[in-house]
Structure 1
């Protein structure tokens, strides 16, 4: 990804769902005007969800998810369908692609509606279907009156209309959500305190830092950066205290002790808790820490599938701090990447990372799953602020 590119997690995720050989891959190619997805007449060519980043004219930066057929069979087929089901968790807009009257598609339509995912029904291969208008009417009737878009990925028929429908189906507030919200506005001086450690190898900034800097510059804020050890000198160099200080959550106690009284304080992880998820759910989850005992079990969920490093925040620092508070008997389980248990009942608390690698839909799905199972869920930054005793003093974006 180039520095000018929109991060994948901030793009609109469009999932294409349908039976084998309905032309999902061909439809992606037609929508983008590029051969970005493998096409074959052999059923089941797409075996696992495949993602492709693209700038879709009139819509903006998107990720297309090309999924396996909903009617795949056999032991491997069932695994592929399950992988397709998991792709639903990160889908902002679903294209349900058909070439005949719906069967399995009706079950999937119910799933999309249950999860609040907008759906466009697409009748593909209209160039070779007899009486496609009658077929589209019948499909619409079976799908509760949803309009059906007739297209041909082969000839291009209906593709402009499908692009327009995608543009109109994007939730109104999708592009409005910002990282810093009302905490920073034009003309504000914002100081970023960014420890450089093993989590940010030499020559690199971690993604939340990069995204936050870019947004603050877009807001026409004045942005300064320093490491924790340089914070006193940086504050001295400023003519007036910064309006906002954003720190790495691990440095909360140090930064809180040094910050000017008039400066607001938050962390990258807390900002991303609201940007990617539900900050109120995470704040409620923090209250569960007071009820943990040495018989409790906590699940730590990391979005990155990186190999754990020395002094890893999720695998070492947070568990050590919680055991210091609760007791050495406190147990922890760990999951990374897309792995996340369906059954959360063994856990007394879930603590999620900042999820800079996930899109918001994916994080909200996990929050909803935890809430349905009545398991509190929190976030790295919120937990660290709670343990530092300053959760009621840090600022949250609105």
Structure 2
């Protein structure tokens, strides 16, 4: 039962199946939990050929949930399938069916998008990582040209070609290097920030990132990774971000990291800051539910890319393509 209830945080839609006109405390409690998690639900009464839904049950469910019951019988698919499928379609969140694009509203057909992808010890052999692949595909889907290069090739490329990209997207780990060589009038952001807008709680990240400067000695930071990749010796979540945070704040901080969708190792109230990865391996719903408790307890939340940009003094520039806010004078290190 525990695992079943935990799975509610991972789903986009629930179908509650009733039978024999039974609706008790268990069903009511389950619907209450789904409502708390903002998970839409379709209520289905099965085996209606044997026991049709009574008016009393319809009224009871309507009073408690505000929802109507969908009758169903596997023996009458032609009659019930179209209605059930229509209800599922109407109830499914749009983001579960089709996600928002990554760069479509930042570029126009024919634009050039420069993608900076370091090849370091963390880079998988023989392939690109998923966020890079997703951005390449979205760039092509929007009839733009994607140019992929490493961070040490930027100056030579721009100088030789004279090309002015419409947008530059970089791996967050080299934000500082890339920002230094990309002219200020060219929009710059990171793969993780692009994903944060598509899947995460972008406004919450914007509010939470500056809280990094308020961290104190002994504060505990939770890093959330949505996948379980092989850990490198200079891992971004386990090594680099903790190191950069410690250097930036000058404080003695404590760090916990959770991979995949595992439970938090301690009560969420113990944390002063939560840093969520881009979330390329999870759905929009899964990521939002992941952050629900920290947000409920008013814990500052940020994103890998935004945190790294802030720690390198280019936060305002990195979010400017999405917010339109110009870089503040005091934001640079």
Normalised to the residue count of structure 1, the TM-score between the two structures is 0.74
Alignment match, 2:322: 397
Alignment match, 2:67: 146
How many Å separate the matches in 2 of 1:248 and 1:263?
16
Secondary structure of the 1:338 match is coil
1:91 aligns with 2:16: no
Contact 1:271/1:396 (<8 A) preserved: no
Alignment match, 2:27: 105
How far has the Cα of 1:366 moved from its partner?
2.7
Deviates more, 1:164-173 or 1:241-250: 164-173
How far has the Cα of 1:312 moved from its partner?
0.4
Secondary structure of the 2:263 match is coil
How many Å separate the matches in 1 of 2:99 and 2:231?
34
Mapping for residues 23-172 of structure 1, pairs under 5 Å: 81-99=1-19, 100-103=21-24, 104-127=26-49, 129-132=50-53, 134=55, 137=58, 140-141=61-62, 143-153=64-74, 155-156=76-77, 157-172=79-94
Secondary structure of the 2:316 match is coil
1:314 aligns with 2:237: yes
Count of aligned positions? 317
Alignment match, 1:12: none
How far has the Cα of 1:254 moved from its partner?
0.6
Secondary structure of the 1:96 match is strand
Deviation track 1:72-105 (CA, whole Å, cap 9, x = no partner) reads: xxxxxxxxx2222222212222211111321211
How many Å separate the matches in 1 of 2:258 and 2:95?
31
Structure 1 vs Structure 2 CA RMSD: 2.1
Structure 1's 131 and 165: CA in aligned 2 closer, same or farther, altered over 3 A?
closer
Mapping for residues 1-398 of structure 1, pairs under 5 Å: 81-99=1-19, 100-103=21-24, 104-127=26-49, 129-132=50-53, 134=55, 137=58, 140-141=61-62, 143-153=64-74, 155-156=76-77, 157-172=79-94, 175=98, 177-327=100-250, 329-341=252-264, 343-394=267-318, 395-397=320-322
How many Å separate the matches in 1 of 2:184 and 2:259?
38
How many Å separate the matches in 2 of 1:238 and 1:94?
53
Deviation track 1:356-389 (CA, whole Å, cap 9, x = no partner) reads: 1111112212333112112111111011000110
How far has the Cα of 1:393 moved from its partner?
1.4
How far has the Cα of 1:184 moved from its partner?
2.0
How many Å separate the matches in 2 of 1:240 and 1:262?
13
Secondary structure of the 2:105 match is helix
Deviation track 1:36-81 (CA, whole Å, cap 9, x = no partner) reads: xxxxxxxxxxxxxxxxxxxxxxxxxxxxxxxxxxxxxxxxxxxxx2
Secondary structure of the 1:158 match is helix
More helix by share: 2
How far has the Cα of 1:268 moved from its partner?
0.4
How far has the Cα of 1:125 moved from its partner?
2.4
How far has the Cα of 1:142 moved from its partner?
5.3
How many Å separate the matches in 1 of 2:161 and 2:18?
61
User: Any unmatched runs of 5+ in structure 1?
Assistant: 1-80
Contact 1:269/1:354 (<8 A) preserved: yes
User: Any unmatched runs of 5+ in structure 2?
Assistant: 324-333
How many Å separate the matches in 1 of 2:80 and 2:294?
41
Secondary structure of the 1:182 match is coil
How many Å separate the matches in 2 of 1:149 and 1:236?
65
Structure 1's 139 and 211: CA in aligned 2 closer, same or farther, altered over 3 A?
farther
